[in-house]
């Protein structure tokens, strides 16, 4: 079965298909979803592939139900996921919150298209980045990854499952139409080279005194799933460590400490970025997803002109790498962010720079990716102003 | 310039995206180079204008959109009209002579045409016009190697159709070899 699930080899594959293959390689055996451009190919391939590896694919009536189904499957012990785009992502928001509150491992791939509303179904955007962070009500921490190639769609999907299992929460893959639909080389390693993390299981046998939401030293509670013999109560109401509703401020504080703390205290395992040419840079382009490729092209052109420019590619976008960006802002004259929206993640740069360096946005309303020459022009202009 | 950029254009249902996919697969899997293939289409499933853009390079490709292709394959009138103005000086344009009526051409372009749909119909299935086009391209351009292109094509079409598609590829290639006796383009 393992060999069927992991398509070891070199492929010319689109990002949506690579996302599906990453999920299967990570052990995903349950997918519930509702087709939507440009994420349909993930579901389509799952429908074809999952039955072959002993998994289950369900096309649900909508995205609300899809999200609910993958939470249920996760509590049934399966690694589960769904995929969607803008309108579906909006519908999933409430149950993403349920997943956060009930600490349910699962993965959601959002292949972003231009909005608001139905917008441009077949065309690219990065307009859901703040929705990913704050779209469900209440306060919470979430993890979101931003792939910029079909290869990263594979790699980051594997990582998304590992993070979901490790920290017991829904993990978002914030892809986009170009990454999803673009074909490029995807190398799938042999199964034994793919490192997988499984959720912690309780060490104590079922019985009275078992506390399903009692965290261990790392802040994460082991997870018993239905059928293992433990008595379980799972609710989106504020609950105590037994899992029972607890309607008071003290219980709320304790639960929130657990939900926030398991992320904030384990940042070393979650944060991920790659930096290029920072040593001599007075301007640094910070980018994520498909726009990191525009940035890479622009920085290469700028360096040919001898301009002191560096590049930071954010692999994990939420939580935002605060400490690193704060440090960077103290060392450079300017940070530039290209993104296919009218200014979302750049707000994080501004917040962290706190006036210590200039912050510039290269915006795009959606429908196309950002040309490297637009980023290059901003680099030139910024350097001119800074000198 | 190590990057080669190709745009294939037509309408939904002609296998335009598959054509781009075969080209990219040939470069990536069988020639061991780098390639990206992106696609452009509207919300309609069939009949709407669509195109696929392929970049082939010796190195990693940063920006996957094609703004000014060196090679343009046109399989519809609308595709030709939309995309011909973006072709680079010195580029190569190939069109299906039964589907596209061309207007004035930049004198620096290599201009070639092939009755791809008619040839495919003669072989029994007009759906193979895109494969005839690829065979033709293999004769008039060195974007990817002939062997790689043929292998990628055979790996991409339904198993039952391999033989006829191989025939379509060869017919297109023969037609191209005849044409390329004419002065060479830069494609």
Mean pLDDT, residues B111-116:
97
- Of A193, A216, A246, the domain-final residue: A193
Of chain B, the end-to-end C-alpha distance in Å amounts to 12
Is B169's pLDDT higher than 50? yes
Do A285 and A189 lie in a common domain? no
Would residue A137 count as lying in a domain?
Answer: yes
Q: B149-167: per-residue pLDDT in tens?
A: 999 999 999 999 999 999 9
A296/B62 touch (CB, cutoff 8 Å), yes or no: yes
Q: How many CB atoms lie within 10 A of CB B126?
A: 16
Partners of residue A293 in chain B, C-beta under 8 Å? 62-64
Would residue A88 count as lying in a domain?
Answer: yes
Is B186's pLDDT higher than 50? no
B33 touches chain A (CB under 8 A): no
- Of A193, A212, A227, the domain-final residue: A193
CATH number of the domain encompassing residue A176: 3.40.50.970
Distance CA A163, CA A184 (A): 26
Do A81 and A174 lie in a common domain? yes
Do A133 and A41 lie in a common domain? yes
**What's the number of CA atoms in the CB half-sphere (13 Å) around residue A266?**
20
> Which residue of chain A is at minimal alpha-carbon distance from B34?
A185
Please report which confidence band the pLDDT of residue B42 belongs to, taking 50, 70 and 90 as the band edges. low
Q: Are A246 and A258 in contact (CB under 8 A)?
A: no
Question: A184, A295, A373, A375: best mutation site toward chain B, by most B Cβ within 10 Å?
Answer: A184
Number of domains in chain A: 2
CATH number of the domain encompassing residue A306: 3.40.50.920
pLDDT of residue A338: 98
Distance CA A124, CA A131 (A): 16
Q: What is the ipTM of this complex?
A: 0.92
Would residue A198 count as lying in a domain?
Answer: no
Q: A206-239: per-residue pLDDT in tens?
A: 998 899 999 999 999 999 999 999 998 999 999 9
Q: For chain A, give the mean pLDDT.
A: 97
Mean pLDDT, residues A241-270:
97
Q: How many CB atoms lie within 10 A of CB A232?
A: 17
Do A143 and A285 lie in a common domain? no
Task: Read off the DSSP letter of residue B27.
Answer: I
Among the partner-chain residues A122, A294, A371, the one whose CB lies closest to the CB of B41 is: A122
Is A2's pLDDT higher than 50? no
- Select from A153, A161, A149, A187 the least CA-distant residue to A8: A187
Do A23 and A128 lie in a common domain? yes
Do A166 and A295 lie in a common domain? no
- Of A145, A165, A193, the domain-final residue: A193
Would residue A232 count as lying in a domain?
Answer: no
pLDDT of residue B44: 59
Q: Which domain holds residue A331?
A: 275-386
Query: Which structural domains are found in chain B, ordered by start?
Result: 4-179 (3.40.920.10)
Do A168 and A38 lie in a common domain? yes
Mean pLDDT, residues A92-109:
98
Would residue A223 count as lying in a domain?
Answer: no
List A210's β-bridge partners, or say none. none
Share of chain B above pLDDT 90, in %: 86
Instruction: Look at residue B35 and give its three-state secondary structure.
Output: strand
Distance CA A112, CA A116 (A): 11
Interface of A with B (CB under 8 A): 10-12, 37, 121-122, 178, 181-185, 293-294, 296-297, 300, 368-369, 371-372
A297/B28 touch (CB, cutoff 8 Å), yes or no: no
Do A304 and A167 lie in a common domain? no
Would residue A209 count as lying in a domain?
Answer: no
Is A304's pLDDT higher than 50? yes
Would residue A265 count as lying in a domain?
Answer: no
Mean pLDDT, residues B31-57:
86
HEC string for chain A: CHHHHCCCEEEEEEHHHHHHHHHHHHCEEEEEECCCCCCHHHHHHHHHHHHHHCCEEEECCCHHHHHHHHHHHHHCCCEEEEEECHHHHHHHHHHHHHHHHCCCCEEEEEEEEECCCCCEEEEECCCCHHHHHHCCCCCCCCEEECCCCHHHHHHHHHHHHHHHHHHCCEEEEEEEHHHHHCEEEEEECCHHHCCCCCCCCCCCCCCCCCCCCCCCCCCCCCCCCCCCCCCCCCCCCCECCCCCECCCHHHHHHHHHHHHHHHHCCHHHHCCEEEECCCCCCEEEEEECCHHHHHHHHHHHHHHCCCCEEEEEECEEECCCHHHHHHHHCCCCEEEEEECCCCCCHHHHHHHHCCCCEEEEEECCCCCCCCHHHHHHHHHHHHHHHC
Do A179 and A292 lie in a common domain? no
Instruction: Look at residue B53 and give its three-state secondary structure.
Output: strand
What is the least distance, in Å, from the CA of B29 to any CA of chain A? 7
Is A309's pLDDT higher than 90? yes
Mean pLDDT, residues B164-178:
97
B41 touches chain A (CB under 8 A): yes
Q: Are B187 and B175 in contact (CB under 8 A)?
A: no
pLDDT of residue B180: 77
Q: Phi first, then psi: what are they for A301, rounded to 5°? A: -65, -45
pLDDT of residue B47: 66
Is B179's pLDDT higher than 90? no
Would residue A68 count as lying in a domain?
Answer: yes
- Select from A255, A50, A83 the least CA-distant residue to A160: A83
Question: B52, B63, B66, B156: best mutation site toward chain A, by most A Cβ within 10 Å?
Answer: B63
Is B174's pLDDT higher than 90? yes
Mean pLDDT, residues A343-370:
98
Partners of residue B63 in chain A, C-beta under 8 Å? 293-294, 297, 369, 371-372
Question: B62, B151, B156: best mutation site toward chain A, by most A Cβ within 10 Å?
Answer: B62
Do A187 and A281 lie in a common domain? no
Do A175 and A57 lie in a common domain? yes
A122/B43 touch (CB, cutoff 8 Å), yes or no: yes
Do A31 and A146 lie in a common domain? yes
């Amino acid at each position: 079965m393992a060999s069927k699930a992991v398509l070891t080899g070199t492929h010319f594959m689109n990002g949506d298909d690579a996302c599906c293959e990453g999920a299967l390689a990570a052990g995903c055996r349950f997918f519930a979803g509702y087709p939507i451009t440009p994420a349909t190919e993930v579901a389509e391939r799952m429908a074809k592939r999952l039955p072959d590896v002993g998994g289950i694919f369900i096309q649900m009536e909508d995205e609300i139900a899809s999200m609910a189904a993958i939470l249920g499957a996760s509590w049934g012990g399966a690694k589960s996921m769904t995929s969607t785009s803008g309108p579906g992502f909006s519908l999933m928001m409430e149950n993403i919150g349920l997943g956060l509150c009930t600490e349910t491992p699962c993965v959601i791939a959002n292949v972003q298209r231009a909005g608001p509303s139905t917008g441009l179904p077949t065309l690219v955007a990065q307009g859901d980045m703040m929705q990913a962070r704050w779209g469900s009500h209440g306060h919470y921490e979430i993890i979101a990854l931003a792939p910029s190639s079909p290869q990263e769609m594979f790699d980051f999907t594997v990582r998304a499952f590992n993070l979901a299992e490790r920290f017991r929460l829904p993990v978002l893959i914030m892809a986009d139409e170009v990454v999803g639909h673009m074909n490029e080389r995807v190398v799938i390693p042999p199964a034994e080279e793919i490192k997988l993390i499984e959720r912690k299981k309780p060490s104590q046998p079922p019985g009275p005194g078992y506390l399903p939401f009692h965290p261990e030293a790392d802040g994460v509670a082991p997870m018993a799933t239905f059928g293992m013999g433990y008595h379980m109560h799972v609710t989106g109401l504020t609950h105590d460590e037994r899992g029972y509703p607890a309607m008071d401020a003290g219980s709320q504080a304790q639960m929130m400490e657990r939900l926030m703390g398991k992320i904030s205290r384990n940042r070393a395992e979650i944060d991920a970025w790659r930096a290029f040419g920072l040593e001599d840079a007075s301007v640094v382009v910070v980018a994520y997803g498909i726009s990191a490729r525009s940035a890479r092209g622009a920085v290469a052109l700028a360096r040919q002109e001898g301009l002191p420019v560096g590049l930071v590619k954010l692999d994990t976008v939420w939580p935002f790498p605060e400490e690193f960006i704060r440090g960077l802002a103290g060392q450079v004259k300017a940070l530039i962010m290209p993104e296919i929206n009218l200014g979302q993640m750049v707000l994080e740069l501004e917040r962290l720079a706190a006036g210590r360096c200039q912050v510039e946005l290269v915006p795009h309303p959606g429908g196309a990716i950002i040309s490297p020459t637009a980023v290059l022009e901003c680099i030139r202009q910024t350097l001119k102003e800074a000198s | 310039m190590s990057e080669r950029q190709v745009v294939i254009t037509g309408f939904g249902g002609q296998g335009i995206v598959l054509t781009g996919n075969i080209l990219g697969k040939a470069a990536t899997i069988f020639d061991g180079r780098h390639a990206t293939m992106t696609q452009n289409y509207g919300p309609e499933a069939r009949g709407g204008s669509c195109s696929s853009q392929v970049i082939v390079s010796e190195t990693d490709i940063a920006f996957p959109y094609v703004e000014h292709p060196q090679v343009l394959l046109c399989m519809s009138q609308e595709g030709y009209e939309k995309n011909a103005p973006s072709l680079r000086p010195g580029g190569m344009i190939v069109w299906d002579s039964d589907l596209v009526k061309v207007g004035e051409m930049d004198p620096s372009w290599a201009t070639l045409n092939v009755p791809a749909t008619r040839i495919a119909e003669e072989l029994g299935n007009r759906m193979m016009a895109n494969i005839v086009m690829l065979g033709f391209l293999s004769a008039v351009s060195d974007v990817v190697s002939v062997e790689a292109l043929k292998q990628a094509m055979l790996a991409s079409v339904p198993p039952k159709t391999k033989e006829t598609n191989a025939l379509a590829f060869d017919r297109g290639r023969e037609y191209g070899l005849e044409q390329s006796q004419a002065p060479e383009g830069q494609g």
